[in-house]
């Protein structure tokens, strides 16, 4: 995977006639930002806008470049960043104090190293340009496996669109077959679902389809900017016009639990318009920043009436490169290069909130030094499972798609309860929970967590308030929704794990999903909790009765909860103090752990599923196991750790991070699977069915 230098060019209002320019630079494999420049430059907005209105894009770009690079510090800093032997990721950040700068045609910037020959700065594959927008949306952008990308194509051609003339413009019917074919050619081999006219391109239908998890939304429709507000001409259920305010569409997309990774806003072409010069009234470029600001990771829009000839070359080049590398801004540079000779090559614009520019990853184990990319130890792992000498250890990643992530919960609480600590601590659930325990009451974060998850689960599942489950306990609700998921998904992780012959399951999760899955598989699971704190009134143990001869088996497996359960909120390990107490409890009270569990973690192959393996909580857990006498690190088995799918902003360079983790755990014979729990379990199931 190629490394990039990163240069952020920030623009903010300075005074009435000029703007503050900040340049921040970071080199490959470094998270440290270096502030190179902070200065002010004048921008003649009136002249720039006039040149754009008159169609003099060359003059517009020249004046924009002269204004920006007239400052010697800026010119020198940019030149030094560009002189490195790696491509430069150039991100333009327009601050909230200067929204008027979004209307400038930044994609027309000439190359400052060759200002006289008219060369464009942005048709060079060594300069990856995007308009970077920060977002108030706290949800993490999770990358998706490459093979799973899907596109939703919506083409709105209302039957009575000709009755509308926004700003005096005549809206002609859209050539739907042509647009659909253009989308198919442009998207190449990405599977697509089409909402192509006839009353299907409604805002409700569009949003309903996006709930199914589409990665790309490709939207073609008429639009206009009226009194500063973008409006779209979509369809109603009868096929007639449904005018939708841009803010309305933005709100609907913001409310989606899983937003598309990329929204493509395409200039429509009117039926019979062979020149392909349809008019969208500038709505696409105006809508782009709003979508990015509410959390859409990347928006590709048109800031003019781009011709069909240009789009016929641009879109296939863009999606071919996106499929090849997964880098949106690199795909943009390649596509711009493909149309560099076209007069409207500057019109496609990329708004992005991805620092890495990446939209997908390739799941799997790191390539073996000799054997290539296939994991060579599947036979040994499957043999250990069949012989009952493998212990699965379950982490929070198994439930994130159902209950949300711990970081998301922390962010919500931090915002709701005015968490006063540093911004980087707002996604640390133990820290935020500790604040609530001190500021409110010790049990408050536990009770709040249970009720928050109950309400969140009701919301995600769209339960009607009159539904009997609306008043059910969290355990009841999780059990019901979990059963529905297992029935619907053959590769649901708990279902697959429950069908395998494990005698002992160790879990850090407080839910009952695994226990219910085991019962559904015809087994008789027994539950036990690690009593990490002597001050808690613990529920009865299955080992309290000395006459009980229970021994874990595949038919009567033990589910051992390390960090408490929702059923008994006081047992949850949640705050920072809880984690310290837990570590003390593990160290001083190992005799409280059943011998069968100690043996299962010390002498068996271990299968870590659903952890971020660079998290300290995982490392502490793993070291606690490995340091036992005769511990796992010294055993005769190889172990597997499942790294959750990479997160945007958390791991910037996937292959480098994977290599680091493999090296870190090398002495412990642990192999890293890079991907989601679902990715791994699906492959595990295939290996079991194939016999390893």
Q: What is the pLDDT of residues 477-525, one digit of tens each?
A: 999 989 999 998 888 999 999 999 999 999 999 999 999 999 999 999 9
Cα 119 to Cα 62, 63, 87, 130: the distances in Å are: 11, 14, 18, 18
- Angle in degrees, CA 138, 621, 615, rounded to 5: 30
Position 395 pLDDT exceeds 50? yes
Nearest CA to 357 among 327, 325, 324? Answer: 327
> Residues 366-392: pLDDT tens digits?
554 434 446 677 888 888 899 988 999
> Residues 553-594: pLDDT tens digits?
999 999 999 999 999 999 999 999 998 888 888 877 778 889
Question: In which element (H, E) is residue 20 found?
Answer: strand 18-26
Nearest CA to 175 among 265, 245, 243, 277? Answer: 277
What is the residue whose two structure tokens read 């623009």? 11
Rounded to an integer, the average pLDDT of 517-535 is 94
Position 79 pLDDT exceeds 80? yes
pLDDT value of residue 499: 95
- The C-alpha atoms of residue 349 and residue 335 are separated, in whole angstroms, by 11
Encoded tokens for 295: 């959390």
Position 282 pLDDT exceeds 70? no
Tell me which of 3.40.50.300, 3.50.50.60, 3.40.50.720, 3.30.360.10 is the CATH number of domain 144-361. 3.40.50.720
Position 22 pLDDT exceeds 70? yes
Position 77 pLDDT exceeds 60? yes
pLDDT value of residue 474: 93
- The C-alpha atoms of residue 526 and residue 547 are separated, in whole angstroms, by 16
pTM of the model: 0.71
* Better-scored residue on pLDDT, 293 or 50: 50
- The C-alpha atoms of residue 155 and residue 164 are separated, in whole angstroms, by 18
Percent of the chain clearing pLDDT 90 (strictly above): 32
> Residues 216-240: pLDDT tens digits?
999 998 888 887 788 889 999 999 9
Look at 425-434, 440-449, 606-615 and tell me which has the smallest mean pLDDT: 606-615
Position 192 pLDDT exceeds 90? yes
Residue 408 DSSP class = H
> Residues 603-644: pLDDT tens digits?
888 888 888 766 666 766 776 666 565 544 445 556 676 655
Encoded tokens for 49: 């806008």
pLDDT value of residue 507: 94
Sign of CA dihedral 155, 158, 163, 166: negative
Tally of CB atoms within 10 A around 268: 30
Cα 642 to Cα 252, 401, 429, 608, 662: the distances in Å are: 34, 16, 21, 6, 12
Domain ranges (residues) in the chain: 5-132, 144-361, 364-450+493-544+553-690
The torsion angle over the Cα atoms of residues 314, 317, 318 and 324, rounded to 10 degrees, is 180
Q: How many residues does the chain have?
A: 692
Position 645 pLDDT exceeds 60? no
Position 273 pLDDT exceeds 60? no
Rounded to an integer, the average pLDDT of 666-680 is 73
* Better-scored residue on pLDDT, 28 or 60: 60
pLDDT value of residue 123: 78
Rounded to an integer, the average pLDDT of 82-90 is 86
> Residues 461-480: pLDDT tens digits?
665 655 677 788 999 999 99
pLDDT value of residue 370: 38
Nearest CA to 680 among 639, 624, 641? Answer: 641
Rounded to an integer, the average pLDDT of 253-262 is 85
Mean pLDDT of the chain, nearest integer: 82
Q: How confident is the model at residue 125 (pLDDT cuts 50, 70, 90)?
A: confident
Q: In the structure, how many helices (H) and strands (E) does the chain have?
A: 22, 24
pLDDT value of residue 413: 93
- Contact assessment for residue 360 and residue 605, using Cβ atoms and an 8 Å cutoff: no
pLDDT value of residue 112: 84
Query: Where is mean pLDDT largest: 28-37, 90-99, 341-350, 551-560?
Result: 551-560
Position 436 pLDDT exceeds 80? yes
> Residues 290-340: pLDDT tens digits?
888 788 889 999 887 788 788 889 999 999 898 888 889 999 999 999 999
Residue 471, φ and ψ in degrees, nearest 5: -115, 10
Tally of CB atoms within 10 A around 343: 12
């Amino acid at each position: 995977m190629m490394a990039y230098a990163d240069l952020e060019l920030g623009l903010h209002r300075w005074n009435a006639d000029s703007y503050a320019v900040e340049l921040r630079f970071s080199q490959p494999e470094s998270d440290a930002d270096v502030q190179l420049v902070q200065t002010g430059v004048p921008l003649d907005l009136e002249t720039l806008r006039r040149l754009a209105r008159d169609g003099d894009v060359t003059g517009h770009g020249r004046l924009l470049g002269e204004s920006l690079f007239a400052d010697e510090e800026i010119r020198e800093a940019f030149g030094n960043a560009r002189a490195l032997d790696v491509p430069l990721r150039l991100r333009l950040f327009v601050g909230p104090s200067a929204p008027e700068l979004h209307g400038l045609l930044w994609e027309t910037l000439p190359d400052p190293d060759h200002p006289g020959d008219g060369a464009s700065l942005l048709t060079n594959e060594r300069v990856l340009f995007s308009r970077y927008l920060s977002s108030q949306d706290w949800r993490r952008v999770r990358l998706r496996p490459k093979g799973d990308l899907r596109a939703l194509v919506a083409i709105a051609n209302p039957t009575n669109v000709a009755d509308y003339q926004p700003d005096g413009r005549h809206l002609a019917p859209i050539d739907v077959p042509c647009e659909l074919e253009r989308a198919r050619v442009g998207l190449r081999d990405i599977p697509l679902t089409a909402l192509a006219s006839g009353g299907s391109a409604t805002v409700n239908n569009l949003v309903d389809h996006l709930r199914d998890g589409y990665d790309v939304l490709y939207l073609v429709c008429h639009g206009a900017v009226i009194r500063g507000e973008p409006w779209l001409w979509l369809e109603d259920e009868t096929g007639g016009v449904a005018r939708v305010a841009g803010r309305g569409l933005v709100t609907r997309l913001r409310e989606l639990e899983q937003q598309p990774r990329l929204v493509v806003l395409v200039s429509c072409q009117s039926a019979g318009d062979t020149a392909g010069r349809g008019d969208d009234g500038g709505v696409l470029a105006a809508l782009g920043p709003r979508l990015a600001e509410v959390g859409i990771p990347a928006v590709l829009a048109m800031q003019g009436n781009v011709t069909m000839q240009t789009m016929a070359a641009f879109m296939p080049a863009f999606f071919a490169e996106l499929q090849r590398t997964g880098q949106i801004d690199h795909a943009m540079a390649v596509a711009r290069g493909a149309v560099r000779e076209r007069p409207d090559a500057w019109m496609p614009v990329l708004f992005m909130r991805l620092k890495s520019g990446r939209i997908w990853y390739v799941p799997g184990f790191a390539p073996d030094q000799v054997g290539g990319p296939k994991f060579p130890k599947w036979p040994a792992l499957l043999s250990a499972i069949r012989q009952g000498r493998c212990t699965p250890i379950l982490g929070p990643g198994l439930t994130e798609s159902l209950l949300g992530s711990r970081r998301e919960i922390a962010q919500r609480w931090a915002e709701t309860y005015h968490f006063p600590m540093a911004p980087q601590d707002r996604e640390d659930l133990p820290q935020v929970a500790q604040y609530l325990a001190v500021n409110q009451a010790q049990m408050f974060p536990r009770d709040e967590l249970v009720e928050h998850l109950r309400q969140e689960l009701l919301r995600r599942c769209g339960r009607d308030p009159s539904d009997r489950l609306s008043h059910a306990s969290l355990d009841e609700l999780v059990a019901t929704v979990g059963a529905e998921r297992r029935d619907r998904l053959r590769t649901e992780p708990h279902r697959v794990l429950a069908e395998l012959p494990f005698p002992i399951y160790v879990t850090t999760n407080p839910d009952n999903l695994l226990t219910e899955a085991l019962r559904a598989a015809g087994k008789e699971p027994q539950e036990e909790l690690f009593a990490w704190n002597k001050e808690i009134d613990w529920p009865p143990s299955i080992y309290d009765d000395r006459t009980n001869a229970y021994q874990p088996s595949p038919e009567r497996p033990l589910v051992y909860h390390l960090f408490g359960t929702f059923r008994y909120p006081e047992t949850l390990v949640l705050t920072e103090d809880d984690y310290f107490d837990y570590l003390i409890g593990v160290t001083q009270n190992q005799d409280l752990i059943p011998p069968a569990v100690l043996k299962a973690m010390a002498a068996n192959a271990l299968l870590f599923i659903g952890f971020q393996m660079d998290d300290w909580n995982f490392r502490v857990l793993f070291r606690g196991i490995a340091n036992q006498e005769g511990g796992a690190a010294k055993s005769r088995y190889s172990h597997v750790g499942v790294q959750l799918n990479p997160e945007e902003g958390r791991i910037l360079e996937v292959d480098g991070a994977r290599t680091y983790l493999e090296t870190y755990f090398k002495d412990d014979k642990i192999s890293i699977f890079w991907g989601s729990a679902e990715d791994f379990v699906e492959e595990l199931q295939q290996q079991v069915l194939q016999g390893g």
